[in-house]
């Protein structure tokens, strides 16, 4: 597939409103974060695809490039010789991460660059680069778990009656904007998972 001479205004690839600028990036990142569409791992929830557009996903990719263009080769190669974002390299490098089908070369760009494929590409990039920088994640989830919950025994409803677990025995395994799921494996005979509401400090 030929990506030469592509510009960021090519809607079949980048959507109808993508702008490679810090202002536009921050606007879309704020939208994704405030609506709880970003996983704690730094990827986008697949379930959120119906509520976001292609340009917003590209702005998240631009965000990853912006913060990692000097330290991760994959993102360095998405830049021009002057260090700016290269539309052809953005398209090519993300396309190279797609799970290809035999008919891709004959499909229009819009059918190849789908929201599902873009999010899958983000997952591959994030999971494949342990040193990747996603600055807002640390701020977002450190606020969520900074709570006034006392460190004391709590009781949970479980198929196994009378199970009591201390908060200092549990660990955070995943969370989103509204709650955190915790689990414990201290006791191999007890396998539980439960949620607690978190209210961040202001």
Q: Which residue is listed with tokens 């917003």?
A: 56
Pairwise CA distance, residues 57 & 62, whole Å: 9
The per-residue pLDDT for 141 is 62
The per-residue pLDDT for 10 is 94
Pairwise CA distance, residues 133 & 71, whole Å: 9
Q: Give the max Cα distance, the chain.
A: 66
For residue 80, the 8-state DSSP code is -
The per-residue pLDDT for 99 is 83
The per-residue pLDDT for 109 is 84
Distance between first and last Cα of the chain: 50
CA atoms within 13 A on the CB side of 98: 22
Structure-block tokens of residue 104 = 């891709």
Give 84-127 pLDDT, tens digit per residue.
999 999 999 999 999 877 677 777 788 889 999 999 999 999 99
133 phi and psi angles, rounded to 5 deg: -100, 125
The per-residue pLDDT for 192 is 44
Whole-model pTM?
Answer: 0.70
Give 148-158 pLDDT, tens digit per residue.
444 344 344 44
Mean pLDDT in order along the chain per 10 residues (202 residues): 89 94 94 92 94 97 96 95 95 90 74 93 94 86 47 42 46 42 45 43 40
Pairwise CA distance, residues 166 & 61, whole Å: 40
């Amino acid at each position: 597939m030929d990506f030469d001479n592509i510009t960021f205004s090519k809607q079949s690839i980048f959507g109808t409103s993508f702008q490679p600028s810090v202002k536009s990036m921050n606007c879309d990142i704020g939208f994704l974060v405030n609506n709880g569409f970003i996983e704690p791992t730094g990827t986008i929830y697949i379930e959120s695809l119906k509520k976001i557009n292609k340009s917003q996903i590209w702005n998240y990719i631009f965000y990853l490039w912006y913060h990692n263009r000097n330290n991760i080769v994959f993102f360095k190669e998405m830049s021009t010789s002057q260090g700016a974002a290269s539309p052809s390299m953005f398209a090519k490098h993300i396309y190279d991460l797609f799970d290809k089908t035999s008919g891709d070369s004959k499909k229009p760009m819009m059918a190849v660059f789908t929201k599902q494929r873009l999010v899958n590409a983000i997952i591959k990039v994030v999971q494949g680069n342990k040193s990747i920088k996603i600055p807002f994640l640390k701020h977002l989830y450190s606020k969520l778990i900074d709570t006034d919950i006392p460190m004391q025994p709590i009781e949970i409803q479980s198929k196994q009656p009378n199970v009591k677990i201390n908060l200092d025995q549990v660990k955070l395994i995943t969370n989103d904007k509204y709650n955190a799921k915790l689990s414990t494996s201290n006791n191999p005979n007890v396998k539980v998972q439960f949620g607690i509401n978190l209210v961040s400090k202001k």
